[in-house]
Structure 1
Amino acid sequence: MSSLLSKWNRLGLVKQIVIGLVTGVILALIIPEAGKPIIIFGSLFVGALKAVAPVLVLVLVMSAIAQHKNGNKTNMKSIILLYLIGTFLAGLLAVVVSFVFPVSLTLVNKAEGVTPPSGVVEVLKKVLLNIVDNPINAITSANYIGILAWAVVLGFALKNAADSTKTMIANLSDAISKVVTWVIKLAPLGIMGLVYESITTSGLAALRSYGTLLVVLIGCMLIVALIVNPLIVFVLIRQNPYPLVFKCIKESGMTAFFTRSSAANIPVNMKLCEDLGLNKDSYSVSIPLGATINMAGAAVTISVLTLAAVHTLGIPVDFPTAVILSVLSAICACGASGVAGGSLLLIPLACSLFGISNDVAMQVVGVGFIIGVLQDSFETALNSSTDVLFTAAAEYKEWRKEGKTIEMKKMS
């Protein structure tokens, strides 16, 4: 048994996850009913990630700021700018593709019991209220904006604390990071359970009638992931960006695809940033921040589904107005929560730009829930992998200025 475990550990996490994925597919096809208990592995994995992520963010950010020495560089300005540019370009691309390949919908009433925000002001108000949330409530409700705010405040408050206090906080940060590595080791079992659950659900059969919509949505996200983002990274580092792009997709996007939660994928992204040798002062803040505001996939979803509603209703729209939609979708996307389906409830807000009633807009949200099995998986994979990609790109840009070597070939 010990030799078997030793061989398993030597495989590496990505290969282990692939084995778990293939095993889940095979079991779902061979024993779709008898293997239902396998689903518990997926639920436990996602639950463990969601449990450790809020504490991890609070402790890491607080520790990084408390122990940050004046003169040490961070790349937060560049990273935030990349987040905003990437989200806007994703929304703009979705607008262009929707004009070239217009999609019409069969509207359904499948979104009862959910309440979308009434306007941009409400979205911004919610963001501001989340910032001043009670710290205990922020942690228990996984309000990452509130967690970040408290971590930053406490970090600055502890900058002048005794060295023994800072050491204790650093030790706590290391301990939480160790717990994260233990949780991530469960990824192969978790992915097996998640993929088994996805394949055995009846939702996949309902996707056939929305094939064109899915092709446009997923096509836009793939273009962003494989063309737009690499171009942005190339402009920064002046090297072939694809080794880094594929590493982020493989190690971050794969787990995010199945967890369908940017928040749950925070520990995975933190570990990947550590493996890439990035500055902890930067990524301990940029990764949880990215899980809340870096939402290129959400911008694509909002733009495509909104313009699909416009085309379905035959509403005339000129391109400049559609460009305004891309700006609005980017703003809305930044307010989307880092949980499964968080972008769908912002569609009525975008639809209001074209005078579409809330009743009709909620039917569009219903369509979103039907295709959510794939739409939300691809959206989250794009969002989460881009958090690491842009964090790394901003730091590698500084490395290039300092004459340091960026060894892209070693990324596999």
Structure 2
Amino acid sequence: MKNKPSGPIAYLLGASLVKQIMFGLLAGIALAWFSKDAALAVGLLGTLFVSALKAVAPLLVLMLVISAIASHKQGQKSNIRPIVTIYLLSTFFAAVVAVIFSHLFPQTLALSSANNTITPPSGIIEVLRGLLMSMVANPIAALMNANYIGILVWGIGLGIAMRHSSDTTKILLSDASKAVTWLVRLVIGCAPIGIFGLVASTLASSGFSALWGYAHLLTLLIGCMLLVALVFNPILVFWKIRRNPYPLVFTCLRESGVTAFFTRSSAANIPVNMALAKRLNLDEDTYSVSIPLGATINMAGAAITITTLTLAAVHTLGIAVDVPTAILLSLVASLCACGASGVAGGSLLLIPVACNMFGIPNEVAMQVVAVGFIIGVLQDSAETALNSSADILFTAAVCQAEENRLSQQT
């Protein structure tokens, strides 16, 4: 009879994924501190982990959406509309928060050199056009390019078409969805190793020295995201469930936000949110659709990034911003945030669209994008953590509110 591992190893193997991730983080920092060469070598582990996530996440979204809609029974309430409403409200409120605090704590950027290697959208019309073109993209191309807008549209369309298929087909779709989910959970299970490699190689190659020059801007960004996560999102949750929202808020941040912070992919974090939804005993017909949908359109973190960096450029150039313009900026940033899903570079590439509102030349706007890439190590992680944890948070709030309403009726 083999002896079971004991001591620290047994504790680590039996610990939750969050604890394992924290251990991987600390181990990566320690390795980078003691041996730069070894830290760079283990960077391959992080690259493999991120590549595996990027490869399987688009297929996961497609299969989940198709299976959920195809299996949905006629007349069965799924509560999607109120969830989408909260998604959009949260994104807009996040942009407003960024406007207010950018005014209270104005930032100045060192706009010295331009980066013109990326061509951003030229205006809001082009954003809308790009959004529409993404919706009708070839489904195979959408999967290959991680175009989540296109994947979502094709998934909804195929799911509706297959609602009238045989029960055998629906079972096949359900089994395929479970198989892909199992595969992604397997990849997520490797997160501690992947994060160990990512952190070690990042600290060994550049460290955080490049961030210190932009510490104030980074503090403002992350501060706004924390304010939305800990104040405004709980207010929206309280509006739905009419009780103390913080136990639910902290559960979602701990179980979903931590993993999303390190994986930096809302789509790849879908299985984590789905598993949490199941543990919270939420309605499967609701969360099987709302969570993949939220990974595409619930982008409060992106709205904060677009708004804050745009207003930093505006303040640097000495441009005055009145209240109506600030409100319009919040609307534009919210729309851009929803359209940022699946775009290489995410929210940063849509900053020039908002800058265009103030007549800021593209050459200057691209310098702002370059600043965004410099602080992107922490900015993107915090942004993803806010976005993904809010997906499950708002889904849980609406489902629990509906349960409370039904129990009061009976």
TM bin, normalised by shorter chain, reads over 0.9
- CA shift, 1:71, in A, is 2.7
- CA shift, 1:136, in A, is 1.2
The verdict on how the C-alpha distance between 1:157 and 1:240 changes in structure 2, with shifts beyond 3 A counting, is: same
2:142 corresponds in structure 1 to: 138
Higher mean Cα deviation, 5-14 or 337-346? 5-14
1:124 corresponds in structure 2 to: 128
Contact 2:127/2:336, CA 8 A, preserved across alignment:
yes
Of 275, 279, 288, which residue of structure 1 is paired with 2:279? 275
Determine whether 1:363 maps to 2:367: yes
2:173 corresponds in structure 1 to: 169
- SS class of match (1:149): helix
Determine whether 1:337 maps to 2:341: yes
Matches within 5 A, 1:48-197: 48-197=52-201
Contact 1:291/1:338, CA 8 A, preserved across alignment:
no
The verdict on how the C-alpha distance between 1:372 and 1:81 changes in structure 2, with shifts beyond 3 A counting, is: same
The verdict on how the C-alpha distance between 1:154 and 1:306 changes in structure 2, with shifts beyond 3 A counting, is: same
The verdict on how the C-alpha distance between 1:236 and 1:272 changes in structure 2, with shifts beyond 3 A counting, is: same
Higher mean Cα deviation, 3-12 or 158-167? 3-12
2:38 corresponds in structure 1 to: 34
The verdict on how the C-alpha distance between 1:54 and 1:78 changes in structure 2, with shifts beyond 3 A counting, is: same
The verdict on how the C-alpha distance between 1:309 and 1:49 changes in structure 2, with shifts beyond 3 A counting, is: same
Distance 2:393 2:100 in 1: 24
1:372 corresponds in structure 2 to: 376
The verdict on how the C-alpha distance between 1:232 and 1:172 changes in structure 2, with shifts beyond 3 A counting, is: same
| Identical counterparts, % of pairs | 58
- SS class of match (1:159): helix
Higher mean Cα deviation, 177-186 or 378-387? 177-186
- CA shift, 1:325, in A, is 0.9
Higher mean Cα deviation, 273-282 or 155-164? 273-282
- CA shift, 1:17, in A, is 1.8
Determine whether 1:211 maps to 2:211: no
Distance 2:254 2:203 in 1: 21
TM-score in terms of structure 1 length: 0.93
Higher mean Cα deviation, 78-87 or 3-12? 3-12
- CA shift, 1:194, in A, is 2.1
TM-score in terms of structure 2 length: 0.93
The verdict on how the C-alpha distance between 1:41 and 1:243 changes in structure 2, with shifts beyond 3 A counting, is: farther
1:407 corresponds in structure 2 to: none
Contact 2:98/2:304, CA 8 A, preserved across alignment:
yes
- SS class of match (1:158): helix
2:329 corresponds in structure 1 to: 325
Higher mean Cα deviation, 72-81 or 39-48? 39-48
Contact 2:65/2:292, CA 8 A, preserved across alignment:
no
- CA shift, 1:248, in A, is 1.7
Of 230, 234, 238, which residue of structure 1 is paired with 2:238? 234
Contact 1:221/1:378, CA 8 A, preserved across alignment:
yes
Of 383, 389, 394, which residue of structure 2 is paired with 1:390? 394
Contact 1:263/1:338, CA 8 A, preserved across alignment:
no
The verdict on how the C-alpha distance between 1:315 and 1:198 changes in structure 2, with shifts beyond 3 A counting, is: same
Structure 2: unaligned runs, 5 residues or longer: none
1:288 corresponds in structure 2 to: 292
The verdict on how the C-alpha distance between 1:110 and 1:357 changes in structure 2, with shifts beyond 3 A counting, is: closer
Higher mean Cα deviation, 266-275 or 168-177? 266-275
Contact 2:79/2:286, CA 8 A, preserved across alignment:
yes
Distance 1:239 1:79 in 2: 18
The verdict on how the C-alpha distance between 1:276 and 1:42 changes in structure 2, with shifts beyond 3 A counting, is: farther
Contact 1:194/1:258, CA 8 A, preserved across alignment:
no
2:265 corresponds in structure 1 to: 261
- CA shift, 1:263, in A, is 2.8
Structure 1: unaligned runs, 5 residues or longer: 405-412
Read off the aligned partner of 1:261 and give its amino acid letter.
Answer: S
2:4 corresponds in structure 1 to: 3
The verdict on how the C-alpha distance between 1:285 and 1:197 changes in structure 2, with shifts beyond 3 A counting, is: farther
- CA shift, 1:110, in A, is 5.0
Contact 1:341/1:376, CA 8 A, preserved across alignment:
no
For this pair of structures, how many residues does the alignment match?
404
